[in-house]
Each structure stands twice: as C-alpha cells, then as structure tokens.
Structure 1
Amino acid sequence: MNTTFDTFRQQRLAEGFDEVLEREWAPLTVLDTHTHPFAANALVSRGEMWLTVGEHTRHLLAGDTFELDANVPHAERYGTEGAAYWVARRNA
C-alpha cells in the first residue's frame, strides 16, 4: 500500500465525506446481512475479508477498496488474522 491513513483521510474529506476512521475486526468475525445509514468508501489496510452484496461476494486483501451506498444490505466475513480497513463515511 502506497498511502497513509492521513493521506486517505485528507482525500476523502476533500471529496465530501464527513467522517473518516479505522475499523479493526477480530479473527473470524462474521456479520450477517445488515445496512448502514451512511455511504462508505473504504480501503483494506490489513488482513482479508469477504464482502457480500446480493449474490456477489468479493474477497478483499490489503490494498483493495470497496464502496457501499447508504442502506445497501450486505454481509461481512473476516479472515483468520482478522482485518482492518480505513473507511470514509458520508452521513445522510
């Protein structure tokens, strides 16, 4: 990964996101289908995860990105080492 959290944060705030934070997940965490009231733009910074939206599942590794619109049902599963990602949120 060629970026820092500070660079990620500054870029996302300039794009209109209003909150930027790092989320850490314990090994083998599973989050069943849920939604969030905010749009998200994220960069996996450590570990691996699987993100399922509808019938489509993506396997994400450090350096991969993902985006979700607000209120989109999705599920998350984290690998044996856990994971972390930086996420910018655009609250409604």
Structure 2
Amino acid sequence: MSQIISSKKYACETCIKGHRSSACKHSDRPLFEIKKKGRPVTQCEHCRELRKTKQVHVKCSCESKAYNNSQPSSSSAPTNKGVCHLYLF
C-alpha cells in the first residue's frame, strides 16, 4: 500500500518505475510523490473560465499564474488580479 501523507500519495522510486506504486510497502527507501494521472493544468483559473464560458481556445500567458496564493489580502491595497494577455487561435 502506498504511503499517504497529508492527502498525497508517496511510493519508492523502484515501485513507481515498475508500475507498482499502489502496492509499495517500502518504508526504508526514499519516497517520492505519485503524480496525478492525465495532463497537467497549464492555464490559470481566469483563462480556464473564459474558455468554458466563451468557448474559445485561448493560450494563457498571464503575468501572475499563481496569483491566488502569492498576494496577501489587505483592505487598503487595491485588488488587482494580474494582467491577463490572451492570444486567440
């Protein structure tokens, strides 16, 4: 059984390479995070929502892709969600 630490699955390198990560019981080896299946997300939340609502394929090149986690919230500072530059294909 792979190790679950803070809701993330971990397994040793040998079991990951041998496609046995879900059955890994090696606690004495260095553990690596098991990546999620499928393609990774490449668009920010804003561009993804535009793609769903307007049904237009846009390439995300926003200046601040990790905006939600990087800026502290303060009532005196203006809430700028970053500048989004969209390229239509």
**Larger RCO, structure (CA 8 Å, separation 6 or more):** 1
Structure (1 or 2) with the larger CA radius of gyration: 2
**Fold agreement, TM-score > 0.5:** no
Query: Which protein has the bigger strand share?
Result: 1
Higher relative helix content: 2
